[in-house]
Amino acid sequence: MVGRVPDLPDEQEIDALAALADTRRRAVYEHVAAAGDALSRDQVAEALGIGRNLAAHHLDRLAEAGLLDVSFARLGGRDGPGAGRPAKLYRRSAAEHAFSLPPRGYRALAEVFADAVEDAGVEPALYVAARRHGARLAGRPAEETLRRLGYEPYADGDVWRLRNCPFDGVARTHPGAVCGANLALRTRPRCARSAATSW
Amino acid sequence: MVNLSVWRSLEALREFTFRSGHLDILRRRREWFRPFGDAFAVVWWVPEGHVPTLGEAEERLDLLRREGPTPRAFTFRDPFPAS
């Protein structure tokens, strides 16, 4: 007997994931995401050693899939007549994409938990739990742990800076509970480098 | 104890909440405050240059408690754009 056809993730989610199936295009996405700043087609082509047209093709495909945002700006500070056409710039989109089969919705659950924690005023208990969770991960190098948790760490002199907040969505609705737990999670007493936040 | 402030945009208020020293204090709020089971923070739009009074704040908080988030009194979590 065949049950009800399961709901697949949204068409847009599938499209976003499919756009990353191509390894070259994935490298383009990773490069733009790691840059932090908006990049031009030329900058991406040069960094990855590919042709400008190919870079443009992949960048536009990623933008179409909702993974990159597009803006226009004149580069090199030139302006006014003779400055030429503004360059098309690409940066990682802030839109979140989740693909899960069978469907999972931990975000909704996280919001319910955060509501309960704030209503009951038990944030200190949450921070303790987060610190414990962080301690369990402490056997590995700090950079690897931060990377696996989705912080996108990068070294800046003597500190690790974090490019991404993996809890951004819930952090916006419940900053007290979530940002505090976030910090406790990364508290590592014997860490040679201290983690600094950059969001 | 009432805390009342005017911000240029919700984004500016968010920026302060997230990226300044305010967050360190916010994390420790249970050292000083207990939740009292009802809405305690409210956001609303005022015309430029208008300095809201404590009475206005009280009215908006009452409105939020009675009707939930509306364009006249809302929360960080369920914001409304300036009309």
Closest CA to B68 of B77, B58, B57, B55: B77
Tell me which of A18-27, A76-85, A124-133, A160-169 is least confident.
Answer: A76-85
Can you give the pLDDT at residue A2? 55
Say whether residue B70 is in contact with chain A using an 8 A CB cutoff.
Answer: no
The single-letter DSSP state of residue A76 is: G
Task: Say if CB A179 and CB B23 are below 8 A apart.
Answer: yes
Closest CA to A74 of A59, A56, A60, A86: A86
Instruction: Please answer yes or no on whether A123 and B27 come within 8 Å at the CB atom.
Output: yes
- Min Cα distance B56 → chain A (Å) is 25
Can you give the pLDDT at residue A12? 85
Query: pLDDT-based confidence at A36, cuts 50/70/90?
Result: confident
Residue A112 pLDDT > 90:
yes
Query: pLDDT-based confidence at A4, cuts 50/70/90?
Result: low
Place of tokens 């240029």: B8
Nearest CB to B35; choose among A118, A124, A175: A118
Q: Please state the ipTM of this predicted complex.
A: 0.74
Query: pLDDT-based confidence at A199, cuts 50/70/90?
Result: very low
Name the pTM for this structure.
0.76
On average, the pLDDT of chain A sits at: 85
Give buried/exposed letters for B21-59 (b at 16+ CB in 10 A, else e): eebeebbeebeeeeeeeebeebbbeeeeeeeeeeeebeb
Looking at beta carbons, which residues of chain B come within 8 Å of A183? Answer: 27
Largest Cα–Cα distance in chain B? 38
Say whether residue A123 is in contact with chain B using an 8 A CB cutoff.
Answer: yes
CA dist., res. A32 & res. B62, Å (int): 47
Nearest CB to A119; choose among B33, B35, B77: B35
Say whether residue B21 is in contact with chain A using an 8 A CB cutoff.
Answer: no
% pLDDT > 90, chain B: 48
How many secondary structure helices (H) and strands (E) does chain B include? 3, 0
